[in-house]
A and B are shown apart, each in its own frame.
Chain A
Amino acid sequence: MSGGRILPVILPPGARGATGGPWRAPTLRARHGAVLVLALLLAVGAAEAAAEPGRPSILGTLWRWTPLLLEGFVFNIAISLLAMAIGTVAGLAVGLGLISPNPGVRGVSWCLTQLFRNAPWLVLLFFVMFLLPFEFRVGGVTIPFPGWIKATLGFALPVMANTAEIVRGAIQSIPYGQWEAAESLAFSRRRTLWTIILPQCVKRMLPPWMNLYSLVAMATVQASVVGVTEMLTLVSEVHAAEGGRPELLAPLYGYALLCFFLYCYPIGRLTARLERRFQVRI
């Protein structure tokens, strides 16, 4: 890319080469996934070669434990979906609080958002895990509150704060003229918000919200650190049950990586596509 070339600006539009049009990420296709699986198999093969003979094969071991590991993975997904649902509802409320005309509501919402957005997820998780009781008593009725529900709440807190920011950003990105136009048509503030502003926001909120979801899905493995039996816990227990063979570790963790990749990558692609579709080019 030196200066001796013909200036691209004088070339016809079609001939500007790879850097001409807006840049597009090369899409990964099924065959790239195949490459990934192949890489995993190769890693397994290498580990196999390093292993002593006369032991159960690594692929066989992975296969034998697959039902248990996948059960764990499904549990991770369930936690992430639940956390996302709770966090989104709460986040919508807090996000609307952020733009409330009442300074008190605004202040409280702001504090909530800042605190939960800036604290590490793992620390929040420890917080919820250790400081919430295991069960509640409401009027003689005991409501159990097991670890995985607490972990879900622990994930819902940062989701809430991030959703609130997304909501606020989207609402503020709608040109102010629309508020004024609605006001001149005698719409109340609430009606303007719910019937004019928010429907337009959905489009803008969707991509960052989906990004957030994939972050939550990936964060659920942190629950293993606070004693919830999910996929990562099972991975180390499987390793222990197999007699702690060191050559099993890379395939086992690779397996977990693959599960999450296969789940989160399509979400990421979809998000990118939506982003491009909804993009407003300057």
Chain B
Amino acid sequence: MAAFFDWFRWLYEATGINLTILYDAFDRQRMVAGFWTTVWLCLVCIALSVVIGVVGAWLQGSSLKWTRRAVQGFIALFRDTPPLVQIYFFYFGLGALLPRVPNAYGIPEPVLTNVQWAIISLSLFAGAFNIEIFRSGIEAVPRATVEAAEALGYSRLRAYVHVVLPLAFRICLPALNNNLVNLVKTTTLAYAIAVPEMLYVAKQIWSDATNVPEMMVFLLLAYVFLVGCVVWVMGRIERRLKVPGIGL
């Protein structure tokens, strides 16, 4: 293994291609940690945003006018403002208003860390899009299908659970797919509040070693790989759930 890593040091000396993430133990460690931080950030945010989407879409179908309006306002606010400013607003703006607990040094420390703020703001951002997606999926279920279920004596709830939701989920899978890919790409913004994900680590490394081109190519490949993984998993789900005649 050591010989393998040393080969890259030789590569640097011989050709100038400086892949410190392979031969320098410190850089290697932080890049591996950065990769897993990105993966973890993606997984947590995907799960939370889907939950927000389902709950929001359900609330939006509520018969209470103000509930619907509140959800609509939430969507508008998060869809129509830049996610980067949202992250700054949350971390620097709202972070100042949070209660604090003293840490080991007796310094009051905010209850939420930068990683937690990143998760919150990214999930809310992607969640706002998911609400719209789930809502349009529910809307796209043909009325006739619901009426047929009702004619068969389904209650509203049971028709919703057994007929509308399964169909709606299949209809909105492509759009959901798109949004989740987007979410994976948006996690790079967490870099701005020093969450040690891949872009952050890459930037630290290239400021130390001035190997910008190498790190850039590495980053592009890494993200294309991650997005590829999401697309592949979503494609499997899509195929597994396929019902002839429904969905696109």
Contacts and interface: CB of A to CB of B under 8 A. Distances in A.
Interface of A: 1-3, 5, 7-9, 17-19, 22-23, 25-26, 28, 32, 36, 46, 114-115, 118-123, 126-127, 130-131, 214, 218-222, 224-225, 232, 246-247, 249-250, 252-254, 256-257, 260-261, 264-265, 267-268, 282
Given A119-B223, A122-B199, A265-B76, A131 B212 contact: yes
Contact of A260 (B82, B158, B160, B187): B82
B177 interface: no
A40 to B, nearest CB: 11
Given A123-B219, A282-B142, A253 B93 contact: yes
Interface stretch (B14-22, B60-68, B100-108): B60-68
A222 B97 contact: no
B179 to A, nearest CB: 12
B191 A232 contact: no
A203 B213 CA distance: 41
A218 B219 contact: no
A261 B77 contact: yes
A257 B147 contact: no
Nearest to B160: A1
A41 to B, nearest CB: 15
Contacts, number: 150
B144 to A, nearest CB: 9
Contacts of A254: 89, 93
B96 A214 contact: no
Contact of B227 (A9, A118, A121, A130): A118
B130 to A, nearest CB: 15
Q: Please classify the interface of chain B as helix (H, G, I), strand (E, B), loop, or mixed, using the class held by over half of its residues.
A: helix
Contacts of B28: none
A58 to B, nearest CB: 12
A131 B213 contact: yes
Contacts of B212: 130-131
B220 A249 contact: no
Contacts of B86: 257
Contacts of B227: 118
Contact of A118 (B80, B185, B188): B185
Interface in B207-225: 212-213, 216, 219-220, 223-224
Contacts of B160: 1
Q: Please classify the interface of chain A as helix (H, G, I), strand (E, B), loop, or mixed, using the class held by over half of its residues.
A: helix
Most buried by A among B85, B97, B160: B85
B139 A3 contact: no
7 contacts: A120-B187, A123-B216, A126-B219, A218-B80, A222-B84, A256-B85, A261-B76
B206 to A, nearest CB: 9
A19 B188 contact: no
Contacts of A220: 82
Contacts of B83: 218
Interface string B127-155: 00000000100111011000100110101
B82 A218 contact: yes
Contacts of B142: 282
Contacts of A18: 63
B73 interface: yes
B162 interface: no
B189 interface: yes
Contacts of A8: 150, 156
Nearest 8 Cβ contacts at the A-B interface: A3-B155, A250-B93, A264-B80, A218-B82, A120-B185, A253-B89, A9-B150, A118-B227
Contacts of A115: 220, 224
B93 A249 contact: yes
Given A254-B89, A260-B85, A282-B142, 20 more contacts: A1-B157, A2-B155, A3-B157, A5-B155, A8-B150, A9-B147, A17-B63, A26-B65, A118-B224, A118-B227, A119-B220, A122-B188, A214-B80, A218-B82, A221-B84, A221-B85, A225-B84, A253-B85, A256-B85, A257-B81
